[in-house]
């Protein structure tokens, strides 16, 4: 049974029943939870061990969609995801906003005083920095590829803890020693649903994402952004990453309010062409609902 149109943030006709969806695994990651929120609880997924692997699976046609983390409200952007957008000609089909509630997990019978090492993804360790400093100031912190991978390791290791979510605790049979340990309690992560195709539907609230490359000269970034001001386009987010085309050249990731088919945004993009070396629209898609 698939999610109903009331819960699925895209038109049902735009997602085939046989869609194959890749995500940053293993099973039980927050990315897995984001997949279920977007596509429905019964949507199967293919867990992959890295963000580049998810992009590669979608780009090659092995999978129809992929789900990857983009940005955390307290720790900032997932730079590996941004870099992958620069390397693959893929679209952002949609986005998911997921409230992140971290727990400290351990094998059954483990007490808080038994913990000698704590495993988690580097973003999660950062999101729990103050809690860890207060409760486990001298305990070794070990970076894992994902929270679920940390939980899987801890299920096999005594004297270890993992920072992960409730789903991981259930899947890997771990006890929850502490809940809601994130330093910022409205901690939220935004995920992108990527695809080889653009989202063809229109929505009440939309946003668009672009990559803009500029020349390495004074005023280049100002010239690239001025068209948005001239045509009253609201910029939500701006972030730079090395373009990897030549030393000290950068690409700028821009989120804007609205759809790229809107007259004012089309006018801004037309003006942009005369200022920027190149730009690419990653997608126009519905704004994710917060939890």
User: 252 - beta bridge partners?
Assistant: 212, 240
For residue 43, count other CB atoms closer than 10 A to its CB: 19
Q: Going by C-beta distance under 8 Å and a sequence separation of 6 or more, which residues neighbour residue 254?
A: 209, 210, 211, 212, 225, 228, 235, 237, 238
Contact 22, 93 (CB under 8 A): no
Question: Beta-strand (E) ranges in 108-249?
Answer: 117-120, 140-143, 160-164, 175-179, 188-195, 206-213, 235-242
Task: For residues 98 and 111, give the distance between their C-alpha atoms in angstroms, rounded to a whole number.
Answer: 30
Q: Going by C-beta distance under 8 Å and a sequence separation of 6 or more, which residues neighbour residue 206?
A: 257, 258, 259, 284, 285, 286, 287
Which listed residue (167, 189, 209, 214) is catalytic? 189
Copy the structure tokens of residue 105.
Answer: 């997990």
79 catalytic per annotation:
no
191 catalytic per annotation:
yes
Contact 163, 181 (CB under 8 A): yes
The closest alpha carbon to 174, from 153, 197, 195, 198, belongs to 153
Which listed residue (191, 209, 228, 252) is catalytic? 191
Residues with active-site annotation = 189, 191
């Amino acid at each position: 049974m698939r999610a109903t149109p009331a819960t699925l943030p895209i038109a049902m006709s735009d997602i085939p029943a046989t869609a194959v969806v890749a995500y940053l695994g293993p099973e039980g990651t927050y990315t897995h939870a984001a997949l279920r929120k977007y596509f429905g609880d019964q949507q199967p997924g293919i867990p992959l061990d890295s963000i580049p692997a998810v992009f590669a699976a979608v780009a090659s046609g092995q999978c129809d969609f992929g789900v990857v983390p983009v940005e955390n409200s307290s720790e900032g952007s997932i730079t590996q995801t941004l870099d992958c957008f620069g390397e693959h000609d893929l679209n952002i089909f949609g986005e998911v906003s997921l409230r992140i509630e971290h727990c400290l997990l351990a094998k059954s019978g483990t007490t808080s005083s038994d913990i000698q090492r704590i495993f988690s993804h580097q973003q999660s360790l950062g999101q729990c920095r103050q809690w860890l400093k207060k409760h486990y100031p001298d305990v070794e912190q070990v970076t894992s590829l994902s929270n679920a991978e940390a939980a899987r390791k801890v299920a096999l290791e005594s004297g270890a803890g993992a920072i992960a979510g409730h789903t991981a605790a259930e899947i890997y049979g771990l006890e929850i020693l502490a809940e809601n340990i994130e330093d910022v309690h409205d901690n939220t992560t935004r995920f992108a649903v990527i695809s080889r195709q653009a989202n063809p539907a229109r929505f009440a609230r939309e946003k668009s994402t672009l990559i803009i490359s500029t020349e390495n000269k004074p005023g280049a970034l100002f010239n690239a952004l001025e068209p948005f001001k001239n045509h009253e386009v609201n910029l939500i987010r701006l972030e730079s990453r090395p373009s990897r085309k030549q030393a000290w050249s950068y690409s700028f990731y821009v989120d804007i309010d609205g759809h790229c088919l809107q007259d004012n945004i089309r006018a801004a993009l037309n003006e942009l062409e005369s200022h920027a070396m190149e730009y690419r629209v990653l997608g126009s898609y519905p704004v994710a609902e917060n939890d």
